[in-house]
Each structure stands twice: as C-alpha cells, then as structure tokens.
C-alpha cells in the first residue's frame, strides 16, 4: 500500500469507547499503529457545533495530548468533537494530511477525503463509503485467542451455547420492566425448550435494577453472568457461542455479533428511530439477524466485513492521494 506502511497515523476520538474502537479497528486492518489522541475540549468548545469552533488546535485537552507538528499523514477520527480538530490539522499541514471520518461528521462533509458512514444515515457523495453497520476491530485471530482464554470458564454450560449481550436505555431506546421481562421469558424458553446454556454480559447502561430483574427471571436456568470482575469476556462470548442474542439499542454490538457469521437474534426494546429501523431492516434483509422470539434456529450468511471493505477503499484512495502529492 503506497505510503501507509510507514505513515504517521493519528486516531482522534472523543470520550465514547465505541468511537475509539471503530477507529482502532480500521487502523488494525490497515496494518498501521496509530497515536491515539483522546480529545475532550472544555468550555466553550464543548458547547459549540464544529462549524463554530475557533482555534481548535489550541483547545485544552485534559490528558495533555496537544495537536502539533509533525503533522500526520493520515487521521482516522470519529465523534462530533473531532470534526473541527481534524479539519484544522488538514489546514495546518497544507493539505498533506489524508482525513478519514468514521460516521457522519454532519458539518463540512466535503472537506474530508473519506467518510465511512452506515447506509441507514442516508449519506451519499464521492467521498462517502457506505457500510451496513459499525466498523469493528474483531478479527478471526482475536476471536480465537478470546475463545481459548474463556473456554474453561464457559465449559460448565450446556450446548447450544447462546451469548446474550445486554445494552440499555439511550437517546432512542428505553430498557423498561416490560422489555426485561420479555427478554427473560425468551431466554427461559431457550433454556427449557432447547437445553441452551446462556452466557450473559451486561453494560453500564443496563443498570443494576434491570440486571437484577434479568438474573431473577433466569433463576433455575443454566446461565452464567459476568460479574464485572477480571477480564472482559465480550470477545470470548462471541467466539464460543453457537448463537447470539443482542439488544436492539447498540449498532456496535449488533455489528460485532454479525461479524462472527453466527445466527444473531435482536431483542427489541421500547422506542427506536428511523435510523435504527433502517439499520435493523438492512441486516435482516441480508439474512444476518432475526427478531428474538424465544426460538432457536441455525442459518448461515456472509459475515459482516465492513471494516475490511472500508480499509480496501482507504488504501486505494490514499495511494492516489499520495501519488498526486508526490507529483506536485
């Protein structure tokens, strides 16, 4: 790949782990080791939309990572707060920095070299690469390692083994008592009708009350809950499961599950939005997911490989960018 093997690469990310993971996943597939710049601007930048930021390179960052030369050859960024700094880096480098924005930057889209945006965002343009879901850093090697690490822990559970990834309320979905009851009843059915073992991990957004309700609803089943201690079993669950149940609130978790090529069931929550509806419909139409109703089936599909697709396009476009830069 022209120039990328020795390129100076920065990842710009905000405080959201999902944004950082998408950027690092892309960097990994590109075969580069980036310098991570976690940006968390203070007032007034934090309150202003990106197009109104002034002196973005001079913003004070709590972790002390300043944006200063030598400027990177490539920037991979995600999150609203990274938009102004990314564009400022390109200006400061006299256009020598190639900008990749993961997800819709909303502002000044035409100034990015590549925007990798989910199809459900409805974003189009010559610099837009549409994906079915979120980018992920999950690789076959990572799954193999995680599976070996957690094999003994989950060996106590019967087969088929169902991984259950539980999110929580966000700006679009509500994890209500009814939703948790429905999820518990469906999982009870998997245990009773299919003899399934249940390996469950919850997120911070799940909340203690919802987690306690789920635990109570699964009393008497062959289940294992991660208690939050020790190594995070997330990848191990994905690696060892025969099927996966994931709540509808997280594009990233559903995308991660679909990257395994295993049957994925989406447990519905109250709420939603047009974008989420289009995302879920897209994956169902591709045969990757089904709505969770307490049944268990086996089917196959081509695993989600958005990260590899975006990486190939970035390599191709960066090669053209680097060649044009060298010729000028």
Percentage of residues in the chain having pLDDT higher than 90: 75
Q: Are 67 and 38 spatial neighbours (Cβ–Cβ below 8 Å)?
A: no
Q: For residue 216, what pLDDT band results from cuts at 50, 70 and 90?
A: very high
Radius of gyration for the alpha carbons in the chain, expressed in angstroms and rounded: 21
Q: Give the separation between CA 21 and CA 18, rounded to whole angstroms.
A: 5
Q: Could you give the C-alpha distances from 118 to 51, 103, 131, in angstroms and in order?
A: 22, 7, 5
User: Which pLDDT score is estimated for 63?
Assistant: 52
Does the pLDDT of residue 198 top 60, yes or no? Answer: yes
Whether residue 60 has pLDDT greater than 50: no
Q: pLDDT for 105-131, tens place per residue?
A: 988 899 999 999 999 888 999 999 999
CATH number for the domain whose boundaries are 4-136+306-327? 3.40.50
**What's the CA gap between 262 and 132, in Å, rounded?**
17
Spell out the domain ranges in the chain: 4-136+306-327, 140-291
At residue 61, does pLDDT exceed 60?
no
Dihedral of CA atoms 113, 115, 72, 82 in degrees, nearest 10, equals 130
Helix ranges, the chain (H): 17-30, 83-92, 140-154, 177-194, 208-217, 234-240, 251-258, 274-285, 306-327
CA separation (Å) from 147 to 41, 139, 195? 38, 12, 22
pLDDT of residue 283: 96
Entry pTM: 0.89
104 close to 90: Cβ distance less than 8 angstroms: no
The third-level CATH classification (topology) of the domain covering 140-291 is: Rossmann fold (3.40.50)
**Confidence band (pLDDT; 50, 70, 90) for 59?**
low
Instruction: Please name every residue paired with 101 in a beta bridge, in sequence order, or none if there are none.
Output: 77, 115
Tokens of 250: 């997280």
pLDDT number for residue 1: 40
In the predicted model, what is the mean pLDDT of the chain? 91
Cβ neighbour number for residue 286 with a 10 Å cutoff: 13
C-alpha 71/C-alpha 95 separation (Å) is: 10
The count of C-alpha atoms lying within 13 angstroms of the C-alpha of 34, restricted to the half-sphere facing its C-beta, is 25
Tell me, yes or no, if the two domains 4-136+306-327 and 140-291 fold the same way: yes
């Amino acid at each position: 790949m022209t120039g990328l093997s020795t390129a100076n690469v920065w990842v710009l990310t905000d405080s959201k782990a999902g944004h950082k993971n998408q950027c690092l996943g892309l960097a990994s597939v590109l075969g580069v080791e980036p310098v991570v710049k976690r940006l968390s601007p203070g007032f007034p930048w934090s309150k202003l939309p990106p197009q109104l930021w002034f002196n973005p390179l001079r913003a004070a960052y709590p972790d002390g990572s300043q944006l200063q030369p030598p400027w990177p050859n490539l920037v991979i960024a995600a999150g609203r707060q990274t938009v102004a700094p990314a564009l400022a880096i390109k200006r400061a480098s006299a256009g020598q920095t190639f900008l990749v924005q993961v997800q819709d930057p909303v502002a000044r889209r035409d100034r990015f070299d590549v925007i990798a945006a989910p199809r459900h965002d409805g974003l189009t343009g010559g610099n837009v690469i549409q994906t079915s879901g979120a980018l992920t850093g999950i690789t076959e090697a990572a799954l193999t390692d995680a599976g070996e690490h957690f094999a003994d822990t989950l060996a106590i559970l019967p087969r088929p083994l169902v991984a259950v990834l539980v999110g929580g309320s966000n700006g679009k979905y509500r994890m209500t008592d009814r939703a948790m009851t429905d999820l518990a009843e469906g999982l009870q059915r998997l245990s009773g009708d299919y003899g399934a073992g249940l390996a469950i991990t919850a997120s911070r957004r799940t909340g203690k009350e919802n987690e306690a309700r789920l635990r109570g609803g699964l009393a008497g089943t062959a289940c294992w809950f991660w208690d939050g201690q020790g190594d995070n079993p997330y990848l191990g669950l994905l690696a060892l499961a025969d099927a996966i149940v994931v709540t509808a609130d997280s594009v990233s978790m559903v995308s991660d599950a679909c990257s395994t090529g295993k049957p994925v069931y989406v447990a519905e929550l109250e709420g939603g939005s047009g974008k989420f509806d289009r995302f879920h419909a897209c994956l169902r139409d591709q045969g990757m997911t089904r709505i969770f109703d307490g049944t268990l089936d086996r089917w196959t599909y081509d695993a989600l490989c958005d990260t590899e697709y975006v990486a190939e396009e970035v390599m191709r476009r960066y090669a053209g960018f680097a060649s044009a830069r060298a010729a000028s």
